[in-house]
Amino acid sequence: MAKAARRLAETGHRLTRKGREVDVRVMPIPGSDDGGHALLFGHVTDGALVRIHSRCLYGDVLQSDDCDCGPELEKSMDLIQAAGRGVLVYLEQEGRGAGLVNKARGLRTSEQLGVDTFDSYERLGLSVDMRSYRLAAEALVTLGLRSVRLLTNNPDKVRAVREHGIAVTVVPLVTRPRNDRARRYLEAKRRRRGHMLPLELVTVRTRRAGHWRGWLLPLSRRSRRLRLRLP
């Protein structure tokens, strides 16, 4: 921990975002598939806001309207900056871990066949989601965090962090889809991966769903085990 603290101190600098300055430090997360970097903003202690974010070139950089990646990243940073502290774990997991080329192939297949990208990945012989959040959770342990407020709608991220002994309070990220393609993608994430999304953001096409405090949760064993605590 002391060694990690020294390395973090060597990266400390000021970052100006949306007209405001914030202290930032950077910690590498080694890993050929699920690695990346942890960016620490302000004085990070237990209970800090944490966003675990998978790289999305289209959403994060090109500001595509077709997914919620860019809006989720922006909102996460807005919340962290407003709080004055927090952690952004940015993982090199483009295309749910399949890479940019396979992501593009999946999007093309989706357009041609009228299916969601989970179906298109399967048709291409790819896993629908190759990501692991183990390295991200281990990075939080390295930082000495025992509790976090996790900015996410993804139960896989919640489970990964909790499995490493960190107490998690889930802070759902509500971003409105910018077009119908984005809305269909949100619905597919809810239906195929159990993402926790507010009712008004998705078109519900299945009866196999349950209501919980105004949020739509698939009635899967995984979701029933997930204990949520809204801030």
Number of domains in the chain: 1
Q: Does residue 104 fall inside a structural domain? A: no
- Give residue 174's pLDDT: 86
Q: What is the pLDDT of residues 8-43, one digit of tens each?
A: 999 999 999 999 999 999 999 999 889 999 999 999
Between CA 132 and CA 157 the distance in angstroms is 9
Segment 168-196 shows an average pLDDT of 91
Q: Does residue 75 fall inside a structural domain? A: yes
Spatial neighbors of 180 by CB under 8 A, at least 6 apart, are none
180 is catalytic: no
- Give residue 30's pLDDT: 95
Out of 96, 105, 131, 190, pick the active-site residue: 131
Task: Give the amino acid at 162.
Answer: R
Q: Does residue 44 fall inside a structural domain? A: yes
Q: Does residue 53 fall inside a structural domain? A: yes
Q: Does residue 214 fall inside a structural domain? A: no
Q: Does residue 189 fall inside a structural domain? A: no
Phi and psi at residue 169, to the nearest 5°? -105, 120
129 vs 6, more confident: 129
Q: Which domain holds residue 84?
A: 2-93+131-175
191 is catalytic: no
**Which CATH number belongs to the domain containing residue 38 in this structure?**
3.40.50.10990
Banded pLDDT at 228 (limits 50, 70, 90): very low
**Shortest CA distance to 137 belongs to which of 89, 169, 94?**
89
Burial class (CB in 10 A: 0-12, 13-18, 19+), 231: exposed
Out of 34, 66, 129, 156, pick the active-site residue: 129
**Shortest CA distance to 226 belongs to which of 141, 166, 136, 157?**
157
